[in-house]
């Protein structure tokens, strides 16, 4: 019986993980929904929803494993699209080579910790007993993501915003949202990184919480039998 339950949880986790990846691909292809910050960070990261559900439904272990797999997918996708080109640009501008330590920090702070954080919904008991608990779990994982992303902005990407500002000052580029935030924050890296990451993490969290509230009754009806299965005699 225990093996059967574990198999069912594993299959459901895989299904929700696939939904998260497919959702991310669809959102990335739809104009408007695919809006993002200048240096990365999607305004409508709807894939957060199924990832949070995994931890809430099946516990911390499944949530963290799913978050790790999703982080690997995201890193691979971003690397192919822009990360390597950005690394080469910054290296040529600063003269600093991205060593193994910086690359490991990038993977941890920008991918592993932020996306595994979604699985921390598994720390909450009875998430689906009330809407407030569900919303609270989503806010909690978003705060963990914000902390990691803010630290990354200071430790890893300070040269990125300084490069962007230098391009604007030389007249080779127009100001964007990132450079305006940097100027507004008095060129403080910590405040800039916090403000930059707070914008897209807030929009994503609010949209996902709204989606959860709208679908709560239906979601609860589907999930309740999984949480409290009837005992067959």
Q: Alpha-carbon distance 110 to 127, whole Å?
A: 27
| Domain containing residue 115 | 2-30+42-227
Q: Could you tell me if residue 180 is inside a domain?
A: yes
Q: Could you tell me if residue 168 is inside a domain?
A: yes
pLDDT given at position 232 = 45
Q: Could you tell me if residue 92 is inside a domain?
A: yes
Q: What is the CATH number of the domain that holds 114?
A: 1.10.1760.20
C-alpha to C-alpha distances, 47 to 70, 74, 81, 88, 179, nearest whole angstrom: 10, 11, 19, 30, 28
**Residue 231 pLDDT grade (very low, low, confident, very high; cuts 50, 70, 90):** very low
Percent of the chain with pLDDT over 90: 63
Q: Could you tell me if residue 148 is inside a domain?
A: yes
- Summarize the confidence of residues 15-42 as an average pLDDT: 94
The larger pLDDT score, comparing residue 230 to residue 208, is at: 208
Of 15-24, 164-173, 194-203, 211-220, the one with minimum mean pLDDT is 211-220
- Summarize the confidence of residues 204-233 as an average pLDDT: 77
CB 54 within 8 A of CB 17: yes
The residues with which 36 forms a beta bridge, in sequence order, are 42
**Domains: count for the chain:** 1
Q: Could you tell me if residue 56 is inside a domain?
A: yes
Q: Could you tell me if residue 133 is inside a domain?
A: yes
Q: Alpha-carbon distance 155 to 224, whole Å?
A: 43
Q: Could you tell me if residue 13 is inside a domain?
A: yes
How does pLDDT run across 61-119, given as a tens digit for each residue?
999 999 999 999 998 888 777 777 777 777 777 777 788 888 889 899 999 999 999 99
- pTM of the entire structure? 0.89
Q: Could you tell me if residue 126 is inside a domain?
A: yes
């Amino acid at each position: 019986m225990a093996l059967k339950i574990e198999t069912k949880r594993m299959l459901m986790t895989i299904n929700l993980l696939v939904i998260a990846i497919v959702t991310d691909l669809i959102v990335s292809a739809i104009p408007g929904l695919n809006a993002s910050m200048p240096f990365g960070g999607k305004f409508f990261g709807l894939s957060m929803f199924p990832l949070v559900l995994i931890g809430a439904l099946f516990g911390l272990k499944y949530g963290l494993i799913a978050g790790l797999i999703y982080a690997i997918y995201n890193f691979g996708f971003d690397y192919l699209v822009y990360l390597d080109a950005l690394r080469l640009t910054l290296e040529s501008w600063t003269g600093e080579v991205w060593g193994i330590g910086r690359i490991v920090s990038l993977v941890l702070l920008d991918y592993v910790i932020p996306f595994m954080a979604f699985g921390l919904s598994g720390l909450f008991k009875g998430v689906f007993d009330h809407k407030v608990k569900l919303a609270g779990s989503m806010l909690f994982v978003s705060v963990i993501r914000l902390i990691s992303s803010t630290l990354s902005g200071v430790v890893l990407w300070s040269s990125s915003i300084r490069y962007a500002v230098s391009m604007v000052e030389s007249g080779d580029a127009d100001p964007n949202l990132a450079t305006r935030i940097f100027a507004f924050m008095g060129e403080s890296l910590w405040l800039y990184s916090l403000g930059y990451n707070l914008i897209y993490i807030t929009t994503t969290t609010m949209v996902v919480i709204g989606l959860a509230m709208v679908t709560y009754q239906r979601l609860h009806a589907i999930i309740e039998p999984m949480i409290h299965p009837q005992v067959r005699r």
